[in-house]
Each structure stands twice: as structure tokens, then as C-alpha cells.
Amino acid sequence: MDESMHKLVAMVMLLVLPSGMLAPSQAQAPAPSNVYDLIIIGSGMAGLGAAKRAKELGVAKILILEARDRIGGRTITQPLNITLPPNSPAPAAIDLGAAWIHRISGARGFNPMAKLANDSGSGYVTTTEAGLSFDPKGVEDTDQWDKTYEDMLARWEVYYGKYLNGNPKDTDSLQTVYDKFVQSAPWSTLQKATLLQALVTEIAMDYAADLSQLSGPWSQEDYNWGNGPDALPSRGYSTLVSYLATNQTIWTNYAVDFINYSNPALVDVRGRILKGTGQGSTFVLLAKGVINTMPLGYLQAQLAPATPTLFKPALATSQSAAIKAMGMGLLNKVILVWPNSSWWSGIITTPWLTIRNSTSLGSFSEYYNLAATGVKLPVLICFNAGSFAKSVESLSDAVIVSRALGPLQRLLPAGKTIPPPVQTIVTRWASDPWTYGSYSYNKVGVSYNTRSKAFAALGTLKRVGFAGEHTHLQFPSTAHGAYLSGVAEAERLAPLVK
């Protein structure tokens, strides 16, 4: 331990400061046990991935601080109030955040989430992209619609490829590119309508943002692991989270408010205890390295005031501007649960279902049918994304559920009504104060290196690093991207903190 570190250890004030009290008057004897090799902020996939890797690399004193009263962050599996038949392939539980493992294998090998699903005892079932689409009246789309849809999507890909090769402007949105495409030839009304529907369904919903919000040149990156099928962890993502958390020290209800990296030797991490023992108190900890996995939406909210207080020294203007320039997308789920899937068994036969909405594309129109997957749960999920999803978060659960049931009702013959669901769950990720959104996207205006500029490590010795889905250059927005970002930060910091 060098001289400056000795001094800092002697300065360690205490683990918990009662709220409002000044540190020096409450200072206790030096408490080396409150100095950590590595403090990880956040217990999502990034934080847990970082902790696992750091431990494997021999980092001894690792502490994970988590503001929520649970671990897992944007992965959370909730039990359902239904009894399934014996020998059902999966338990009655549903993921409110991440659900899919995107491409279990590919040229890069096995997706780390698929490996975790196996190691944790969850296992997984592979899924297909098979889907049905219906017009706004609930009539199945014609072959002509389907063929035009596929044809226009293929033409879009060619056009978009040329657009990318033609010096695209960072100020273009995907909507701008679509508008240019539409002007490029005398397309029929059907051709324009199918392409717009395709872009909303296949791109905007996936990236959790509107076409007008998504960057033209930087949106359609390959976020997938490879070419294998997607999969669902059979027991839900929380099984993977519990497995990763085994033998880690995690303090839940500990919210970090302040990260001071001005001393080159130790980082000072402070915050509040939100619930449980010590509720209302503040805490002060020191660490040789810190991995900050606070989600993008949370970081943006912290940086919004004229004089932000999260970091000391304050972030460089260019770094702060890059964080603010990124987009935090929104994908919400309306989860509809019945005791069994009999009412839709002859009608909705594929996993995916689109019931087009003639007035507002993509609103209460995309559904997923878990009964048609390997987990065989009697559950339909309605997805909303982007600014529409945000606009409905303020509505009551009852209104949101009824709007999600409306289009489904139109699929039934006249005189038949949908039995009421026995359980409904409505997510509101934009209102969640520990993320303010679902996952990051490249917002119109970003440039090639915005993401790497935004999440460069801090301090002369770079003792404070960033991890989380929003920091991963190849696989942002995903659980595996989050996990890999944590692993990479642990590998970078381990030699410095051991």
C-alpha cells in the first residue's frame, strides 16, 4: 500500500453516517474493512457479470451496491397466479424485462446468456419468428399484403445499404431515410403502407424508439450474437441472476449519490440507505476501483441539472454531452394471463401476432403468444414502444389492459367474447426511477464514436469504469451486451485493484 493510500485509509470515516450529520464529528477509528478492492454499482447483468469475472481473476474484496430492494435490474421474473398441469415444461413465471436470449450461438460461439441458462439449471427453449398478421378489423392479412410486405422489406434493405455507402448525415433519422425511399419511385399505396408497417414492427419496436428518434446511419447495427435461433430461459432470467449472485456480497437498498475520483489512489463512494437497517442513513466507502453500471436513463437524469453532483470532478463537458446525446428507449409489456389458452388456440397459432392499427402504427398491435412456444404458458404479451409507450404509462392498469384486449377481441367471431384474464401485469419502465427507460438506442444526431466517448473510464489511473448495456459497442440494448461489458471492465480493472 503506498503512502497516499495509508492516509486515505486513516481518513475512512465510517460505514454509515446518520443522515444529515457531518462526517468529521462522527468519524470512527480507521476501518480498513470499509476499503474495497472493487465496488460495483448495480446488480444487473453488467454488475453481476463484473463481480463474477473479478472474483475469477482473484480480486478479493468485492462489494455490489444496489439501490433497489432486489437484484437483477432490468431482468425480473415474476411468478404467475395460475396452476399449470403436471409436467408443464416451465414454471408459471414471466419476465417483465429481458426475456429472450438473442441468438444462442453463431460464429462467435455460444451466447453467454445461453451458457448461464444452462449453468444455472434454467435451461432454455428455442423460439421461432413465425407470425400472423391481421388487418385493423381482425381479418387475416391477404397473401398480397404478406408478399408486398416481404418484397418491400427486401427493397428497403438494398436501398438502406446504398444509403449507408453514400456518406449519410448524422442528422438523418430513420424516418428521413424512409421518406427519401418513398420519394425514390412511384410506389403504390400498398407498397408504402407495408413498408412503414414493416419498419415499425421490425425496427422501431425492437429498438424501442420511434423512426423519427432513431439515427439514420447508426441504428441498424447487428445487436445479435450470431445466426442461431433466439431462446427463452425456461425458468426466466431471474434464475440466471440468482446463480450469478451466489457467494457475492450485495447490499440492496444502498443508493449511490456521489463518486469522487479526484484522489488517484482510492475512489470515494457515498450514498443513502433507502430501506431496512440504517434506513435514512448515509454511507461512505472507499475502493481501489469502481464499476458504475447505472443505466443510461438514470445517468442522464443525474446529469440534467445545471450543476450535476454525481461525479467529482465533474465529467468533462464533451463526455457529459455524449451521454446526454444517446437515446434511452422504451419497451413496455402488458402481460395477460389465463388459466389455459383454449380461447385462442384455433385463432392465434404462431408465437408472434400483429393486429394492425390503422390510426397509430405499432400501438397495442404487437403480441407474443407464449402458448405457441416451448414454455407453453397460457399468456399473451402486448408490446408498446417509443413515444407511444411513454404516453400510455400514465393511464391506469385497467385502461391499458382493456386497450390491449380490444384488438384481440376483434379476432373472435361475432357474439363471442374473450374471457377476462385471471392476472394482468403492466410494466412502466420509463417511470422506474432506477432506469428511466428500457434500453439505449442510437438517437438521431449521434456519431460513430458517441458511445465510446460517453463511457470512457474516469481518473488519472482510470479507476472508475462504466459498464452496462449502454456501454457495449457491439451488443448494446441486450442482456448479453450488459454482461460482457461487466466482464470487460472487471478484466481491465483487476490488475489495478488486486
Ligand X SMILES: Cc1cc2nc3c(=O)[nH]c(=O)nc-3n(C[C@H](O)[C@H](O)[C@H](O)COP(=O)(O)OP(=O)(O)OC[C@H]3O[C@@H](n4cnc5c(N)ncnc54)[C@H](O)[C@@H]3O)c2cc1C
Q: Which of 478, 487, 489, 490 binds ligand X (CB under 6 A)?
A: 478
Counting contacts by CB under 6 A, is residue 228 touching ligand X? no
Hey, which residues between 373 and 432 contact ligand X (CB under 6 A)?
427, 429
Task: Please give the size of the binding site for ligand X, defined by CB under 6 A.
Answer: 40
Counting contacts by CB under 6 A, is residue 464 touching ligand X? no
Q: Which of 315, 365, 477, 489 binds ligand X (CB under 6 A)?
A: 477
Distance in angstroms (rounded) separating the CA atoms of residues 218 and 221: 7
Counting contacts by CB under 6 A, is residue 45 touching ligand X? yes
Distance in angstroms (rounded) separating the CA atoms of residues 8 and 260: 13
DSSP string, 255-319: EEEEEE--SSS-EEEEEEE-SSTTTT-EEEEEEEEEEE---HHHHHHHH-SSS--SEESPPPHHH
Q: Which stretch binds ligand X (CB under 6 A): 3-11, 28-36, 39-47, 347-355?
A: 39-47
Counting contacts by CB under 6 A, is residue 493 touching ligand X? no
Hey, which residues between 262 and 301 contact ligand X (CB under 6 A)?
293-295, 298
In whole angstroms, how far apart are CA 68 and each of 29, 64, 203, 245, 294?
30, 12, 31, 15, 12
Q: Which stretch binds ligand X (CB under 6 A): 77-85, 211-219, 258-266, 476-484?
A: 476-484
Compare residues 187 and 258 and give the one whose CB is closer to ligand X: 258
Cis omega before residue 420 (within 30°)? no
In whole angstroms, how far apart are CA 283 and each of 116, 258, 264, 272, 290?
33, 10, 21, 6, 16
Compare residues 178 and 439 and give the one whose CB is closer to ligand X: 439
Minimum Å gap between C-beta 363 and ligand X is 16
Q: Which stretch binds ligand X (CB under 6 A): 6-14, 64-72, 116-124, 396-404?
A: 64-72
C-alpha cell at 234: 425456461
Which H/E stretch holds residue 55? helix 45-56
Q: Which of 13, 35, 38, 42 binds ligand X (CB under 6 A)?
A: 42
Counting contacts by CB under 6 A, is residue 47 touching ligand X? yes
Q: Which stretch binds ligand X (CB under 6 A): 9-17, 103-111, 402-410, 434-442?
A: 434-442
Which residue's entry shows cell 439515427? 215
Distance in angstroms (rounded) separating the CA atoms of residues 265 and 452: 25
**Is 342 exposed, middle or buried (CB count within 10 Å of its CB: 0-12, 13-18, 19+)?**
exposed
Compare residues 59 and 310 and give the one whose CB is closer to ligand X: 310
Residues at the interface with ligand X (CB under 6 A):
41-47, 65-68, 73-75, 97-100, 102, 255-256, 293-295, 298, 331, 333, 427, 429, 434-435, 438-439, 468-469, 477-480, 482
